[in-house]
Amino acid sequence: MTREILKDRTKQFALRIIKVVDALPNNVTGRAIGNQLIKCGTSVGANYRAACRGRSKAEFNSKLHIVLEEADESVFWLELIIEAKLLPEKKINSVLEEANELTAIFAKSYFTAKNNK
């Protein structure tokens, strides 16, 4: 998968996260979880773009690790939305699947990059 495809995929993921957050209930729980999810879900793409502009392998690896952490955190919040029944599971499943796939992609990329020092 090319960098450009991953840049687009992470941007589309951010757009989907925005829609999920907008659909959350406007109560204390919905706002708290929404604030956390919007930060990590949109930061996946932003930090991946920053990693691609890294000036060194060390900087690339560092940014890529942040991408991995943010993708994994997105999985957590999406699972919490489902388990707390804040939104119907069928509405969240495809976004959760994408979050899991991105986490797996960036985990593999990070460990490959780290081992290729």
Q: What is the pLDDT of residues 83-110, one digit of tens each?
A: 999 999 999 999 999 999 999 999 999 9
Whether 112 shows a pLDDT value over 70: the answer reads: yes
Per-residue CA distances from 4 to 7, 38, 67, 103, 115 (Å): 5, 23, 16, 17, 23
**Residue-range domains of the chain with CATH:** 3-115 (1.20.1440.60)
* Main-chain phi, psi angles of 55, to 5 degrees: -85, -10
Distance between first and last Cα of the chain:
21
Whether 117 shows a pLDDT value over 90: the answer reads: no
Tell me which DSSP letter residue 17 carries.
Answer: H
Tokens linked to 112:
């490959």
